[in-house]
Amino acid sequence: MSSAFGTKLSLRLRIFLFFCLIALGGVAIFLGATAFGYWRLKDPGAFDAFVAAGAIAAFGLVGMVAWIWLLFDENVAKPLSSLASEIRARVHAEVQSEIDHEAAQYLGDIAPAASEIARDLTKTRTALEEAVKRETDQITREKSWLAAILRDFPAGVLLCNGDHKIMLYNMQSVSLLQQTGALGLDRALFELLRPEPLLDALDRLRRAKRSDQAAEILCTSKSGGRVFKGQLRLLGSARESDPKKGGYILILHDVTEDLQVHAARDYLLRDLVEMIRRPAANLRTSLAILQSPGTFSTAQRERLQSVLDKEAEALVSIIDKFVTRFDATETTWWPMSDIAAGDIVAGLQAQLAAQGLEIQAKTAPLMLYCGGFALIQLLAGLAERLGRSRTGTDLALSIQPEGEGATIDLSWQGQVLPVETLETWLEEPLGASYDCYTLRDAVEVHRTEIWPERLPEGRAHLRLPLRTASSEQTGEPLPIRPEFYDFELLGRLGAHLDDDRPLRDLTYVVFDTETTGLEPAAGDEIVQIAGVRVVNGRIMSGENFDVLVNPERSIPVSSTKIHGITEAMVTDAPTIDSVCGDFHSFCSGAVLVAHNAPFDMAFLRRHATRLSIDFDHPILDTVLLSAIVFGHDADHSLDALAERLDIEILSTERHTALGDAKATALALIKLLPMLEARGIETLKQAISEFDNYRRIVKAAH
């Protein structure tokens, strides 16, 4: 029991207690010797002298021991504790900087020996990493291929574990679900989608006899605003006795607009039947009367003719309205996408060159929403027929913006093309690739028309308008997300904030705030809040929260000098009332981490209480984590901690909320294995250690 208690004490405290024991033992021995001397002397008058001598000697002995202890603590115990922390940093956090020898200069060869061990460990680790890298290059390439396929797969792909936590997603799923909620690794699927259809499909698949069976589902976003058609398939392990040990894959397509179009067409057909029923019945009755035997007077015939004209006009009006509504609900069943106008030109020129034709082109930098190959086939077919019929020469193509769309003009030197000729050409096949479609089909799938016009200077053209076009965007391609999957999450089940879960299995949101000042109780406010998610020891680079906040008060110049945020920058920014709720949603299911967390949480909780938002997450403070690992005497500022752990903070990112949050997250990732090495492996143990540290600090002050 005493041995177990002793191992929990720090080295410096144990040495202090050891010297206290020496002092107490020395005083006891000296007093005992004095008493024995007085007893042998048997002189009552000498008692006071013996007492005075004993007291002076005892105080002198205690003072000497205390002085020796201070020297020992400063030159031995403290350097040893620091050296132990530095060794752990190099073993567990992969710090590569040299160990500070100056602090351990009185420990002889211990510091140089530790440095040699650290250098040898670094060399060994480097050699091992190189060997592993050589052996896994092929696996890495295959994983990259898989990642590229999944990332660019044209449907949304989600892979979930048995606890319905996302462990893989592709970029298409981001596009599909970005408006429904926060998508990310280790987030709950049912924060994005309504659970009932998915749970029903899972239950059916788990009871199915065939292991390769898939379930077709129709589900909605949690808000009900989007409708998705999908296919759900179980992973093999999901059929075990405990279904939560497995997982499932979900493939989604957004069918919201398709369903709306189909519904609109159903309503249209129903309305058409109702609208034509009465005039059709009247027309049939009137015709029956006209065909019946008998003689009608002139007045009767005129009235009957008036009824026929009126009902015919009503029927024509109904048909016109039906055509208008039908056009509005027409589906673009032909595959459409955004294509650069320059690519259309390049494809057309290449196809005409194969036929020995040339065409000049003038295009604006536009993205056309069209069926690319079909549009090229249409323009090439018309250009070839113009050349073959010798209708015109000097072919030219122009693509220019017009309103929300664009106009395509195929022009030539010569006479205007007769409408009858154009109509004949449009009925001809579109090409070998689309032998069952005509040039007119290529026009109609774009929901447009084409017509000939005469131009000045003996030229003519065919004009083809497109409904949708936008300015061509140029820039760097989107970066490849390295962390869009993590198969280790497959076996992680249960409440993610369970106190007994290992620290390495928890999901964290590491955040930071920039403020107008340091006193929330005195009216200072947040001007920027940022956070990053840490899942399975990795920072999710694409899952950041970074928002400027309008503090609704002035920002002191002294604060602006620190974080660089001016009043002009936050004039149009949202207020904390809206940002606080968004940040709370971002933190769902995570442990909150900050450097000097009480400061940041004081600002959040001040408004959260008023907004009925409860930040009941467990909270870790990297200041306290640093104190546990490196001792309370060390400098625990973010800069000092980053330097100690070999973390580089760019000067442009320091004192920005996102930059500091990222640096704190990197520190957390390196501190976690160092905590485990000290026996602090769970959230409960970390919080308990925090409480112990707070009591020690409170007692010291």
- First-to-final CA distance of the chain: 30
- pLDDT > 50? residue 477: no
Which of 607, 632, 655, 701 is catalytic? The answer is 655
Q: Length of the chain in residues, anyone?
A: 701
| CATH of the structural domain 495-700, one choice from 3.20.20.140, 3.30.420.10, 3.30.420.40, 3.30.530.20 | 3.30.420.10
| Res 204: pLDDT | 83
Quick one: what percent of the chain has pLDDT higher than 90?
Answer: 22
- pLDDT > 80? residue 591: yes
Instruction: Read off the pLDDT of each residue in 408-431 and give the average, rounded to a whole number.
Output: 91
Pairing of strands 360-363, 366-370: unpaired
- pLDDT > 80? residue 536: yes
**How confident is the prediction for the chain on average, in pLDDT?**
79
Q: What are the boundaries of each domain within the chain?
A: 2-107, 153-254, 259-328, 338-471, 495-700
Instruction: Read off the pLDDT of each residue in 296-323 and give the average, rounded to a whole number.
Output: 74
Query: How far is it, in rounded angstroms, from Cα 304 to Cα 398?
Result: 56
One-letter amino acid at 564 equals G
Which letter does DSSP use for residue 524 in this model? Answer: -
How sure is the predictor about 152, in pLDDT bands with cuts at 50, 70 and 90?
Answer: low
| Res 514: pLDDT | 94
- Domain 153-254 identical in fold to domain 338-471: no
One-letter amino acid at 668 equals L
| Res 396: pLDDT | 93
- pLDDT > 50? residue 270: yes
Query: How far is it, in rounded angstroms, from Cα 290 to Cα 29?
Result: 141
pLDDT tens digits, 99-128:
666 666 656 566 666 676 767 777 777 777
| Res 4: pLDDT | 42
Task: Please tell me the least confidently modeled range out of 603-607, 655-659, 689-693.
Answer: 689-693
Q: Phi first, then psi: what are they for 537, rounded to 5°?
A: 75, 15
Q: Token pair for residue 509?
A: 């949101």
Quick one: what percent of the chain has pLDDT higher than 70?
Answer: 73
Query: How far is it, in rounded angstroms, from Cα 674 to Cα 89?
Result: 7
Going by C-alpha positions, the residue among 555, 500, 501, 546 that lies closest to residue 523 is 555
Q: What string of DSSP letters covers 44-86?
A: GGGHHHHHHHHHHHHHHHHHHHHHHHHHHIIIIIHHHHHHHHH
pLDDT tens digits, 36-89:
666 656 666 656 666 666 676 677 777 777 777 777 777 777 777 777 777 777
Half-sphere exposure of 442 (CA within 13 A, CB side): 28
Instruction: Read off the pLDDT of each residue in 689-698 and give the average, rounded to a whole number.
Output: 67
| Res 660: pLDDT | 94
Rounded to two decimals, what is the model's pTM? 0.59
How sure is the predictor about 398, in pLDDT bands with cuts at 50, 70 and 90?
Answer: very high
- pLDDT > 50? residue 478: no
Domain 153-254 in CATH 3.30.450.20: yes
Task: Report the 10 Å Cβ neighbour count for 625.
Answer: 26
Task: Please tell me the least confidently modeled range out of 103-112, 167-176, 388-397, 523-532.
Answer: 103-112
Higher pLDDT, 574 or 32: 574
Instruction: Read off the pLDDT of each residue in 399-413 and give the average, rounded to a whole number.
Output: 92
How sure is the predictor about 2, in pLDDT bands with cuts at 50, 70 and 90?
Answer: very low
The contacts of residue 626 (CB under 8 Å, 6+ apart) are: 634, 636, 641, 667, 671
CATH top-level class for 338-471? alpha beta
pLDDT tens digits, 422-475:
999 999 988 777 767 889 988 988 889 999 999 988 899 999 999 888 876 554
pLDDT tens digits, 364-388:
888 898 888 889 999 999 999 998 8
Going by C-alpha positions, the residue among 207, 221, 206, 213 that lies closest to residue 252 is 221
| Res 566: pLDDT | 93
Instruction: Read off the pLDDT of each residue in 6-25 and give the average, rounded to a whole number.
Output: 66
Higher pLDDT, 631 or 165: 165
| Res 256: pLDDT | 80
How sure is the predictor about 154, in pLDDT bands with cuts at 50, 70 and 90?
Answer: confident
| Res 263: pLDDT | 65
| Res 417: pLDDT | 92
How sure is the predictor about 8, in pLDDT bands with cuts at 50, 70 and 90?
Answer: low
| Res 627: pLDDT | 86
Q: Rg of the chain's alpha carbons, rounded to an integer? A: 40
SS3 (DSSP) at 532: strand
How sure is the predictor about 7, in pLDDT bands with cuts at 50, 70 and 90?
Answer: very low
Instruction: Read off the pLDDT of each residue in 653-680 and give the average, rounded to a whole number.
Output: 90
In which residue are the tokens 């998705």 written? 228
655 labelled catalytic: yes
In which residue are the tokens 């950041």 written? 544
